[in-house]
A and B are shown apart, each in its own frame.
Chain A
């Protein structure tokens, strides 16, 4: 184990996988000479050279398409989105080519590509740069979607994503890059995709949350413990495929559930998880599943409004108290 930042853990995962497998290469805007807008690719150009760390023009549809083509021909590209908001420009490549190629070619062309970069609300990046982009991807059959909350998860899940033969959408967070944590240094350490984790054990209510909302929920859980409410927190880590068994197992224990997401609630991750819980664990519920979500509005730039838009600790606590009433 070593203590490192989330950013360093990602860097280490890339480095280890590039050393392990010569087919792995990186392409994206400013990933080489500038070493990444958020320094995730720091030192990689120097170690692996310009053939494996490729700076591209500012054209997401173009370099994503190049990556998909390379993956179809046997390489294992890791495409960096400077932020995931820019992936909208490459949505056709991702949704119509990467996700469907294996199916439409009758199994001839797997697309082992990873598309990674930061997403979700950060600090005053305003409406166009603060979106929870995972919702655009986890709806699509053929894509896997990962949202790693901790440095160890970032490393273990990125390595699994690179080794996976399917296209994987791997969305990090600007606000978590500097978070520090214990990370296994073993180059064979991986975390399987589709495996949730219980971050905190509790008996009264299950809270499902990932990324910054998971950290916020942990703080709320400590406060609610003072009120005698014992909160269990499940971090799905991979949104598609979703580890339903861990979530349902927790709900069958606590009999109550709250789902938190930072993005707008309409047709969000919370809707999906709530539906799953009521379909599979209806008889175990002692209260309706509660969703605590961002407001249904674009992200404002003003700091005070930005704080109102995303779920606050108070809103999370209120949601938990509501199902425990």
Chain B
């Protein structure tokens, strides 16, 4: 069988990618899952995995080549297979859905796949998600369409949709299926790829460039002074991607912010004890905040939610995006299922993700699919800050430094360790009280940190 290696689409802003190098040579045997090449995208350097086994028969884009997303860059096939048809005919970049396609919300509700067609409508049974997997927003249209429960069990998707999603790094659990019985088909993945980009988190550590805030007094202009020292730095691909993505969040998403102060004395002691243990991974404050957030998200699913136009999609997994600052910008690798992972594992995986982020060795699938993000600037002696949401996520938690402060305990002034958390929320999906209750729970988990271990 022939497996096409395509230039993956790793973010909405990404239009082309550059082949840095191939890690396999033409003629070399490939197993599915092997890392075969490194690609430079506008966000990061990523490794491409083989989706099929065979022999790397042909490399169509050599090192340094800039290739549009979706174009063929290589062919994996059995040694004797005729690949001339494939190799000479690179597929078109994944286009938007067919012109004739009906918008999702207008499509009739597909019949449940299990129901035999002969049964009359009232005798068919349909299992409804037990929890609030959909909150009807408006009239009948939204209510009539059962949103796919993104969590439980296997996602129904066509083989083609799986392949495209795998190559593009789209999480199928987050894609709404419009095929028969809710099956995710190609057009759904393509629509998901065309949806607003998951933007990098927060303004981590970088001074924001203010637009020239010139007052309207046009008559009074300062003549340009050619001698004024400055320098125009070319945008790195990552900075260009951030510049494109951020207005798509801060502009259309109505943010609100809630801040709380957390007593970190016990958490700090626990962390010291944990890190003194032999053979245990080093646990950071970020790891504890990630764990606390994930546990709290489980209790407050409304915060683990995305605004979807006609519905609010409540995620059943807590996939936490963790902002990692890089010299050229920042990136948000995703720690999956943080709510069910022990703290030690979170520490190990987070460190691995951060290290590979800095080395430019993230896999495509590790760069998307977060349901909530955490951005920690605590290491920069920052009391508090507020972050920009990564659509389609509904919220992001900004973590300040743990600072020693005078605190009042039992009528006495004492020295306490305090940390400020600020959550930014999408007001279309959630409200202040909801965010405050969530934050209260995060605070309690961190102030009684043994809860993170049980």
Residue ranges of A at the interface with B (Cβ–Cβ < 8 Å): 228, 249, 255, 280, 282-287, 322, 325
Residues of B within 8 A of A284 (CB): 159-160, 163
Residues of B within 8 A of A280 (CB): 1
Q: Which of A255, A282, A322 contacts B186 (CB 8 A)?
A: A255
Residues of A within 8 A of B163 (CB): 283-284
Distance between B185 CB and nearest chain A CB, rounded to angstroms: 5
B173 adjacent to chain A (CB < 8 Å): no
Residue among A255, A284, A286, A325 with max Cβ neighbours from chain B (10 Å)? A286
Contact A249 B85 (CB under 8 A): yes
Given A280-B1, A284-B160 in contact, is the A228-B100 Cβ separation under 8 Å?
yes
16 contacts between A and B (CB under 8 A): A255-B160, A255-B186, A280-B1, A283-B52, A283-B160, A283-B162, A284-B160, A284-B163, A285-B158, A285-B159, A286-B158, A286-B159, A286-B160, A286-B161, A287-B158, A325-B110
Contact A325 B158 (CB under 8 A): no
Residues of A within 8 A of B160 (CB): 255, 283-286
Distance between A303 CB and nearest chain B CB, rounded to angstroms: 27
Cα distance, A286 to B158, chains bound together (Å): 5
B94 adjacent to chain A (CB < 8 Å): no
Chain B 145-175 per-residue mask, 1 if CB under 8 angstroms from chain A, else 0: 0000000000000111111000000000000
Distance between A276 CB and nearest chain B CB, rounded to angstroms: 13
Residue among B52, B98, B160 with max Cβ neighbours from chain A (10 Å)? B160
Q: Which single residue of chain B is at the shortest CB-CB distance from A229?
A: B100
Distance between B109 CB and nearest chain A CB, rounded to angstroms: 13
Residues of A within 8 A of B100 (CB): 228
Distance between A302 CB and nearest chain B CB, rounded to angstroms: 25
B344 adjacent to chain A (CB < 8 Å): no
Contact A325 B162 (CB under 8 A): no
Residues of A within 8 A of B186 (CB): 255, 286
B179 adjacent to chain A (CB < 8 Å): yes
Cα distance, A173 to B335, chains bound together (Å): 64
The 4 A-B residue pairs whose C-beta atoms are closest, nearest first, are A228-B100, A286-B160, A286-B158, A283-B163
Q: Which single residue of chain B is at the shortest CB-CB distance from A227?
A: B100
B342 adjacent to chain A (CB < 8 Å): no
Residues of A within 8 A of B110 (CB): 325
B180 adjacent to chain A (CB < 8 Å): yes
Residues of A within 8 A of B98 (CB): 228
Contact B159 A282 (CB under 8 A): yes
Distance between B52 CB and nearest chain A CB, rounded to angstroms: 8
Distance between B254 CB and nearest chain A CB, rounded to angstroms: 37
Residues of B within 8 A of A325 (CB): 110, 179-180
Residues of B within 8 A of A286 (CB): 158-161, 179, 185-186
Residue ranges of B at the interface with A (Cβ–Cβ < 8 Å): 1, 3, 52, 85, 98, 100, 110, 158-163, 179-180, 183, 185-186
Residues of B within 8 A of A255 (CB): 160, 186
Distance between A188 CB and nearest chain B CB, rounded to angstroms: 28
Cα distance, A21 to B116, chains bound together (Å): 59
Q: Which of A282, A283, A287 contacts B179 (CB 8 A)?
A: A287
Q: Which single residue of chain A is at the shortest CB-CB distance from B160?
A: A286
Q: A255-B186, A287-B183, A287-B185 given. 17 additional CB < 8 A pairs?
A: A228-B98, A228-B100, A249-B85, A282-B159, A283-B52, A283-B159, A283-B162, A283-B163, A284-B159, A285-B158, A285-B159, A286-B158, A286-B185, A286-B186, A287-B179, A322-B180, A325-B179
Cα distance, A322 to B110, chains bound together (Å): 12
Distance between B194 CB and nearest chain A CB, rounded to angstroms: 17
Residues of A within 8 A of B159 (CB): 282-286
Cα distance, A257 to B1, chains bound together (Å): 18
Cα distance, A100 to B40, chains bound together (Å): 60
Residues of A within 8 A of B158 (CB): 285-287
Cα distance, A249 to B86, chains bound together (Å): 10
Cα distance, A284 to B85, chains bound together (Å): 15
Residue among B85, B98, B100, B158 with max Cβ neighbours from chain A (10 Å)? B158
Distance between A247 CB and nearest chain B CB, rounded to angstroms: 14
Cα distance, A179 to B100, chains bound together (Å): 37
Cα distance, A121 to B218, chains bound together (Å): 87
Residues of B within 8 A of A322 (CB): 180
Q: Which single residue of chain B is at the shortest CB-CB distance from A287?
A: B158
Residues of A within 8 A of B161 (CB): 286
Q: Which single residue of chain A is at the shortest CB-CB distance from B51?
A: A283
Distance between A3 CB and nearest chain B CB, rounded to angstroms: 34
Cα distance, A171 to B204, chains bound together (Å): 74
Cα distance, A249 to B180, chains bound together (Å): 25
Distance between B96 CB and nearest chain A CB, rounded to angstroms: 15
Cα distance, A286 to B179, chains bound together (Å): 9
Residues of B within 8 A of A282 (CB): 159
Cα distance, A249 to B158, chains bound together (Å): 18
Cα distance, A283 to B32, chains bound together (Å): 14
Residues of B within 8 A of A283 (CB): 3, 52, 159-160, 162-163
Cα distance, A249 to B160, chains bound together (Å): 15
Cα distance, A190 to B43, chains bound together (Å): 58
Cα distance, A228 to B99, chains bound together (Å): 10
Cα distance, A283 to B1, chains bound together (Å): 10
Distance between B112 CB and nearest chain A CB, rounded to angstroms: 14
Residues of A within 8 A of B162 (CB): 283
Distance between B135 CB and nearest chain A CB, rounded to angstroms: 27
Cα distance, A290 to B246, chains bound together (Å): 45
Distance between B302 CB and nearest chain A CB, rounded to angstroms: 34
Distance between A295 CB and nearest chain B CB, rounded to angstroms: 16
Residues of B within 8 A of A228 (CB): 98, 100
Distance between A243 CB and nearest chain B CB, rounded to angstroms: 14
Distance between B299 CB and nearest chain A CB, rounded to angstroms: 39
Q: Which single residue of chain A is at the shortest CB-CB distance from B185?
A: A286
Q: Which single residue of chain A is at the shortest CB-CB distance from B101?
A: A228
Cα distance, A283 to B52, chains bound together (Å): 10
Cα distance, A255 to B162, chains bound together (Å): 13
Residue among A249, A255, A280, A283 with max Cβ neighbours from chain B (10 Å)? A283
Residue among A249, A280, A325 with max Cβ neighbours from chain B (10 Å)? A325
Distance between B81 CB and nearest chain A CB, rounded to angstroms: 11
Residues of A within 8 A of B185 (CB): 286-287
Distance between B202 CB and nearest chain A CB, rounded to angstroms: 38
Cα distance, A286 to B3, chains bound together (Å): 16
Residues of A within 8 A of B3 (CB): 283
Residues of B within 8 A of A285 (CB): 158-160
Cα distance, A255 to B180, chains bound together (Å): 16
Cα distance, A278 to B348, chains bound together (Å): 41
Residues of B within 8 A of A249 (CB): 85
Cα distance, A291 to B3, chains bound together (Å): 27
Cα distance, A255 to B161, chains bound together (Å): 10
Distance between B83 CB and nearest chain A CB, rounded to angstroms: 12
Residues of A within 8 A of B180 (CB): 287, 322, 325
Cα distance, A8 to B162, chains bound together (Å): 51
